[in-house]
Chain A
Amino acid sequence: MINITIDNKIVSVPKGTNIFKAAKDNGIYIPGLCYHPKLTQYGGCRLCMVEVTERGRARHRFSCAQPVAEGMIVKTKTPETQKYTKSVMEYLLAHHPLDCPTCDKSGECGLQEVTHDLKLQTGRFKSVRLDQPMKRDNPLLEYNSNRCILCSRCVKVCKEIAGVAAIDYQHRGFKTVIGTAFDKPLDCSFCGGCVSVCPTGSWQDRTLKFRARPWELKKTPTICSYCAIGCSLVVNSKNNEVMRITAEENLELGVNEGNLCVKGKFGHEFINSDKRIQTPLIKKNGKLRPASWEDALEHIAKKFSKIINDHGGSAIGGIGSEKCTNEDNYLFQKFCRAVLGTNNIDNISNMKSPSLNRLINNAVVYGMASTSLEGIENADTVFFVGADISEAHPVLGSMVRKAIRFNKAKVIIANTRNVEFGSEARNLLRLNYKLGTQTALINAMIKVVVDEKLVDLKKVADKTENFNELCSSLNTSEIDIKKISGTTNIPEDSIRAAASSIAKAGNCYVICGKDIQEDPSGEETIEALMNLCALINKGDNDKVSIVFSRENNNSQGVNDMGVVPGFLPGYLDIEDQENRDAIEELWDVKLSADLLANNSGDIFDLAVKKKIKAFYVMGENPIVNYPNGKKVNEAFKKAEFVVVQDSFLTETAQLADVVLPSSTYVEKGGTFTNMVMTVQRLHKAISQVGDSKPDWQIICNLAEKMGHEFEYTTSKDIVDEIGVSVPIYEGIEVNRLRRKGFHWILSLYYKTKAAVYRFEVASKKTNAITSNKKYPFILLTGSSLRHQGTYSRNSESLISLASECFVEINRKDAKKADIVNGDNIKIESAQGKLKLKAKTTGRVPEGAVFISENYEWVPVNTLRGNGYTNVKISKTK
């Protein structure tokens, strides 16, 4: 720490801090418009001049560009600095249009604040103003070059945080503007970082559309409801309507440092969309008609009771939601198990990769699971395995870019597609394996580490179990670097380089994405990956952490809460009589005797076999989201009675007999658990839209109708119960979550020590890729940056930004089939067919086509069966 004096106040700050930040952190104001703590220093606005006295000599320095030194005496307001700052502002204001009454920024504008602070009057200079038209070339952002003071913040945020560099200074001198190459329309990730950091009204959020002035907005911090990172954001509302989303201004809060992505920042229009379901709906004569809550709940209770009477509780299948809060999901499974008496409940992430819960739990037990996302910023090596973070988790990409910028982190990307990752990293290593060979690749890396003794093997053998078996399993003819290099299509050197860089000293983050998790051989690959991590784990200071990327905001929580057939809340084995007894006592109910009767096969199989007669679906759209769409469709058609709880009339809701309107994340409190098990709290920003209710309240009302008392008045009451009945959430307290998350992994470590790792060597039979003459292509699916489910689908701006889902085809394949961009393509598999427009690309390997599964109106799942999906493509009109 270094001690300096700023305006007669002695402050102590870390070495390397600049004077500007030192002052700001200690509550001393220095005007400044170009410096931003998360961006590299620029020193372009010239406003932050201060007087610095060192060794008895006073000099003038720009505080953002001057690091602190021991004994410095800084004066921020001397006559000289004031005079200088005022003149600089005079120049800026001579240029700036001062159109504040018609500017959306007015009231939260940096330039306005400095003007006000310095008490500036009419300047001495004749105004020379640019008169350029407003640039509105996209539905989300607009740029007004006349208001721009060229502070470089947007340019830097675009390059350093978003990794896109879509904009830069164009031209020179008085003509300088911020723009794109050849004045093309903006084509970027639309993270909105430029709007967040702009100190003037140059960059504007078009979803606000002049509907509110900044001071009229009620600001409620809460957690984003799109992906599993769990970014903190601020909901800006007026008259009970969400006007815009801004980033959390205090950078120390939340996981995301004020960075957001296109969905988080602009995908809020669904909340007040007129497509929201306003009242409960009951199907009469094949048509859904509005009904009162009383009638709807009565109807459901009657039907459910009849089914339970006739066929037993197990004849009702429940589907929980990755979008709903922990409280909603906890009550949902409690309702299903205790009231309905069924254990046939599930959620989408568990259906897509049934072994994932067990594997994540192993990673936690062995002390390898990452406990925080911010830790990635200190990584020395980041290894992406089957993760497409630019599309799926863009803010995680910003964290990795920070590691690259400050830590010179080495990045290795293993994926079958050539996924995008924009960064300043010059030493990015790509391992573009052939689909189906990912396990071999990981095993080859293990072999390199062992053969070349990149780590202390003796230490590994001491710390783990089964190491000798692992070594002998490597000495088979199957695992031969040269051979694997041939089958994976990756040069031998790259495999060796990748192995040596993850084995070297330093923190290593392994990010295992959904391309691996949802692969038919995912379980085997993840086990190999954990072997690799255990092998290179060096100890406390050089830690290896695995992050299992989850898809939705509460994909982790829905599983934690036990909306899975195998586990009670907190991953307690439901087969275990003791666990069942404990939960019976806690819930004060007697669980149905045949709870585990119908427990074989997934719920859709059971429905197809007519063993499940009714579905209770909460906040999910399985018809288009669940894999094996044909089967899901059949299951729902065969069901006698379907209840869907959702905010929108989704494809599944349209099939329902009763639809109950549920509230979105801004209309309720609760908690979400992100992909590194950080539990964060939501805050209610607006009151319920229409007649909708939070899901947990609907469940309570329904339970009451069915003769059970669910006595919860607020979601806090449910958290309290979760804190008691879910062992991993023990000690969770709502009020403590106000500003800080609760890491359940950490709370687990307080109680237990990490277990000794045991290497898995049993080789499994993999689901091999079969070549199929009739269907010559392999279908790859993945995430999309611009869409994710029902929410983005009902956000107008996101739809106008990305209105079309494309089928991506390798350029060479396209050339052979005479396909060009924009052609209409029919994609057929043994299960179904789809029509989409073509996009030729170099990102997809030859012999494969890629379709994003996040465009909800494109039912990719109807193409997919079990295992890899073979498809054929043909041009149509």
Chain B
Amino acid sequence: MGKRKKQTVTEEAIDLSKAEEILDKYEGVQGALIPVLQKIQYEYGYLQEETVNLVAERMEISASEIIGVATFYSQFRLEPRGVHMVKVCCGTACHVKGANKITQEFTNKLNVAVGSTTEDNMFTLEEVACLGACSLAPIITIDGNVHGNMAPGGVGNIIQETGDHGKSK
């Protein structure tokens, strides 16, 4: 999905006008659920209950069916995710080269389980299948930037650099 917007998690009621705009565009189009959800996720970072309910009302598809679709495809997220997205490759080559140690290091350093987000909402850690750059194994990407030939020792540095970068934003 390319670039992401920094999202803010607040207690306030969310602004649904963007979602309304997207839904206006797809008014009356059959089979438009996935593109609509993609666009909404792009705008809001993830699929919140309020937006899902709005899509349900406007597209006349029940919320359960929408969540059925959203939980089927791994591209959709129902939880807010961190500012930075860490993807650790667990493909065969990376696995052989010790990807699990890299993951371990991230979970220790960030104090977060795979697939979830740090408490300060800065990092989301995910394991992915092959990223297609086996020659650089083990490999991770942070916000789409590739870091190859990783060693567990380098994890702390990368977190430090990315975190600072994020804060200065």
The contact string, 1 if C-beta is below 8 Å from chain B, for chain A 145-178, is 0000000000000010000111111111000000
The contact string, 1 if C-beta is below 8 Å from chain B, for chain A 170-206, is 1110000001111000000000000000000000000
Q: Are the CB atoms of B71 and A165 closer together than 8 Å? A: no
User: Distance in Å from the Cβ of B169 to the closest Cβ of chain A?
Assistant: 31
Q: Are the CB atoms of A168 and B49 closer together than 8 Å? A: no
Q: Are the CB atoms of B64 and A181 closer together than 8 Å? A: yes
- With A181-B52, A182-B49 as contacts: A167 and B71 at CB distance below 8 Å: no
User: Distance in Å from the Cβ of B157 to the closest Cβ of chain A?
Assistant: 36
The distance in angstroms between the C-alpha atoms of A341 and B101, with both chains bound, is 97
B11, CB-defined interface residue at 8 Å: no
User: Distance in Å from the Cβ of A214 to the closest Cβ of chain B?
Assistant: 30
Q: Are the CB atoms of A165 and B67 closer together than 8 Å? A: no
> Which of A166, A169, A179, A182 contacts B62, CB < 8 Å?
A166
Tell me which residues across on chain A come within 8 A of B52, comparing CB atoms.
181-182
B24, CB-defined interface residue at 8 Å: no
- With A181-B52, A182-B49 as contacts: A165 and B65 at CB distance below 8 Å: yes
User: Distance in Å from the Cβ of A597 to the closest Cβ of chain B?
Assistant: 59
Q: Are the CB atoms of B72 and A179 closer together than 8 Å? A: no
Chain A residue at minimum C-beta to C-beta distance from B74: A172
> Which of A166, A172, A426 contacts B64, CB < 8 Å?
A166
Q: Are the CB atoms of B49 and A169 closer together than 8 Å? A: no
Mark out the residues of chain A between 412 and 439 whose CB falls within 8 Å of any chain B CB in the assembled complex: 426
Total number of A residues with any Cβ neighbor in B under 8 Å? 15
> Which of B30, B60, B67 contacts A181, CB < 8 Å?
B67
- With A181-B52, A182-B49, A182-B67 as contacts: A165 and B62 at CB distance below 8 Å: yes
Q: Are the CB atoms of B71 and A170 closer together than 8 Å? A: yes
User: Distance in Å from the Cβ of A169 to the closest Cβ of chain B?
Assistant: 5
The contact string, 1 if C-beta is below 8 Å from chain A, for chain B 16-41, is 00000000000000100000000000
Tell me which residues across on chain A come within 8 A of B122, comparing CB atoms.
none
Tell me which residues across on chain A come within 8 A of B78, comparing CB atoms.
182
B68, CB-defined interface residue at 8 Å: yes
The distance in angstroms between the C-alpha atoms of A165 and B60, with both chains bound, is 11
B66, CB-defined interface residue at 8 Å: yes
B110, CB-defined interface residue at 8 Å: no
User: Distance in Å from the Cβ of B115 to the closest Cβ of chain A?
Assistant: 12
B63, CB-defined interface residue at 8 Å: yes
Chain A residue at minimum C-beta to C-beta distance from B65: A168
Secondary structure class of chain B's binding surface, majority of residues: helix
The distance in angstroms between the C-alpha atoms of A654 and B66, with both chains bound, is 51
Q: Are the CB atoms of B71 and A180 closer together than 8 Å? A: no
> Which of B56, B62, B63, B71 contacts A172, CB < 8 Å?
B71
Q: Are the CB atoms of B63 and A181 closer together than 8 Å? A: yes
Tell me which residues across on chain B come within 8 A of A159, comparing CB atoms.
62, 65
Chain B residue at minimum C-beta to C-beta distance from A175: B71
User: Distance in Å from the Cβ of A724 to the closest Cβ of chain B?
Assistant: 53
Q: Are the CB atoms of B64 and A165 closer together than 8 Å? A: yes
User: Distance in Å from the Cβ of B52 to the closest Cβ of chain A?
Assistant: 7
The distance in angstroms between the C-alpha atoms of A172 and B71, with both chains bound, is 7
Tell me which residues across on chain B come within 8 A of A172, comparing CB atoms.
71-72
The distance in angstroms between the C-alpha atoms of A182 and B60, with both chains bound, is 18
Chain B residue at minimum C-beta to C-beta distance from A163: B62
Q: Are the CB atoms of A164 and B62 closer together than 8 Å? A: yes
- With A181-B52, A182-B49 as contacts: A171 and B64 at CB distance below 8 Å: no
User: Distance in Å from the Cβ of A469 to the closest Cβ of chain B?
Assistant: 43
Mark out the residues of chain A between 455 and 491 whose CB falls within 8 Å of any chain B CB in the assembled complex: none
User: Distance in Å from the Cβ of B65 to the closest Cβ of chain A?
Assistant: 5
Q: Are the CB atoms of A180 and B72 closer together than 8 Å? A: no
User: Distance in Å from the Cβ of A448 to the closest Cβ of chain B?
Assistant: 25
Mark out the residues of chain A between 361 and 405 whose CB falls within 8 Å of any chain B CB in the assembled complex: none
Tell me which residues across on chain A come within 8 A of B61, comparing CB atoms.
165
User: Distance in Å from the Cβ of A726 to the closest Cβ of chain B?
Assistant: 47
Q: Are the CB atoms of A170 and B49 closer together than 8 Å? A: no
Chain A residue at minimum C-beta to C-beta distance from B71: A171
Chain B residue at minimum C-beta to C-beta distance from A423: B60
> Which of A164, A166, A169 contacts B72, CB < 8 Å?
A169
Chain B residue at minimum C-beta to C-beta distance from A164: B62
Tell me which residues across on chain A come within 8 A of B65, comparing CB atoms.
159, 165, 168
Mark out the residues of chain B between 118 and 152 whose CB falls within 8 Å of any chain A CB in the assembled complex: none
User: Distance in Å from the Cβ of A173 to the closest Cβ of chain B?
Assistant: 9
Chain B residue at minimum C-beta to C-beta distance from A168: B68
The distance in angstroms between the C-alpha atoms of A426 and B60, with both chains bound, is 9
The distance in angstroms between the C-alpha atoms of A166 and B63, with both chains bound, is 8
User: Distance in Å from the Cβ of A814 to the closest Cβ of chain B?
Assistant: 18
Which of B60, B62, B63, B65 has the most chain A CB within a 10 Å cutoff? B62
The contact string, 1 if C-beta is below 8 Å from chain B, for chain A 752-774, is 00000000000000000000000
The distance in angstroms between the C-alpha atoms of A164 and B65, with both chains bound, is 11
The distance in angstroms between the C-alpha atoms of A181 and B49, with both chains bound, is 9
Mark out the residues of chain B between 44 and 86 whose CB falls within 8 Å of any chain A CB in the assembled complex: 49, 52, 56, 60-68, 71-72, 78
Mark out the residues of chain A between 679 and 701 whose CB falls within 8 Å of any chain B CB in the assembled complex: none
The distance in angstroms between the C-alpha atoms of A159 and B60, with both chains bound, is 12
The distance in angstroms between the C-alpha atoms of A255 and B105, with both chains bound, is 66
The distance in angstroms between the C-alpha atoms of A155 and B63, with both chains bound, is 13
Which of B30, B61, B67, B68 has the most chain A CB within a 10 Å cutoff? B68
Tell me which residues across on chain B come within 8 A of A168, comparing CB atoms.
62, 64-65, 67-68
The distance in angstroms between the C-alpha atoms of A169 and B72, with both chains bound, is 9
Tell me which residues across on chain B come within 8 A of A180, comparing CB atoms.
63-64, 67
Chain B residue at minimum C-beta to C-beta distance from A186: B64
Chain A residue at minimum C-beta to C-beta distance from B78: A182
**Given contacts A168-B67, A170-B68, A181-B52, could you give 11 more A-B pairs where the C-beta distance is less than 8 Å?**
A164-B62, A166-B62, A167-B64, A168-B62, A168-B64, A169-B68, A170-B67, A172-B71, A181-B56, A182-B49, A426-B30
19 pairs, CB–CB < 8 Å, chain A vs chain B: A165-B64, A165-B65, A166-B62, A166-B64, A168-B64, A169-B68, A170-B67, A170-B71, A171-B72, A172-B72, A179-B64, A180-B64, A180-B67, A181-B56, A181-B63, A182-B49, A182-B52, A182-B63, A182-B78
The 4 tightest CB contacts between A and B, nearest first, are A168-B68, A181-B63, A165-B62, A181-B67
